[in-house]
């Protein structure tokens, strides 16, 4: 799978989730959570993230421009790709695994029925909590090892 295929896979993933909108605050929150994930429990991460966001946004700090936001996002991508490659993995192969994992999740059946019958209702896309485990794909990053 090459970058173009990754982009298509992620576009399909985004299109299935109409609640996703560009939002630098949500992006910032997601990045903080992902940075803390290998170090702490989910409960600790939620608490720490909330504390960081409260301090950051209570101060009224806003990015200087959309260009500044894009610069930050792209720098994060550069650091991420470089770290994967420096760890001895092929970034494209690892991204293929990530896209497979996030794409295997099915939407909550009740929410899916509402959206199919009456259209998107403004709520966030919800994972099906009872999706059978055999349907879930867990990324196998060993496939990307050089």
Structure tokens at 17: 């989730």
pTM of the model: 0.79
Please count the other Cβ atoms lying within 10 Å of the Cβ belonging to residue 129: 6
Note whether 105 and 125 are within 8 A (CB).
no
pLDDT beyond 90 at 110: yes
Element spanning 109, H or E: helix 109-118
**Over 60: is that where the pLDDT of 1 sits?**
no
Contact predicate 125/107, CB 8 Å = yes
Nearest to 52 by CA among 19, 29, 20: 29
Secondary structure (DSSP) of 12-53: HHHHT-TT----HHHHHHHHHHHHHTTTS-HHHHHHHHHHHH
pLDDT band, very low/low/confident/very high, at 17 (cuts 50, 70, 90): confident
Question: Any bridge partners for residue 107, and if so which?
Answer: 127
Domain chopping of the chain, boundaries: 3-144
Closest C-alpha among 90, 100, 103 to residue 142: 90
pLDDT digit string, tens, across residues 32-77: 999 999 999 989 999 999 888 888 777 777 777 889 889 989 999 9
Judged by DSSP in three states, 130 sits in coil
DSSP secondary-structure letter at 106?
Answer: P
């Amino acid at each position: 799978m090459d970058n173009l295929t990754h982009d298509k896979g992620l576009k399909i993933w985004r299109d299935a989730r109409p609640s996703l909108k560009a939002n630098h605050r949500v992006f910032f929150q997601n990045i903080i959570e992902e940075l803390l994930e290998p170090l702490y429990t989910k409960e600790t991460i939620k608490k720490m993230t909330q504390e960081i966001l409260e301090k950051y946004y209570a101060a009224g700090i806003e990015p200087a421009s959309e260009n500044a936001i894009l610069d930050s996002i792209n720098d994060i991508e550069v650091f991420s790709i470089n770290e994967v490659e420096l760890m001895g993995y092929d970034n494209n192969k690892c991204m293929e695994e990530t896209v497979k994992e996030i794409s295997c999740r099915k939407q909550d059946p009740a929410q899916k029925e509402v959206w199919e019958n009456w259209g998107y209702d403004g709520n966030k896309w919800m994972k099906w909590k009872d999706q059978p485990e055999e349907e879930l794909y867990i990324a196998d990053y060993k496939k990307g090892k050089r």
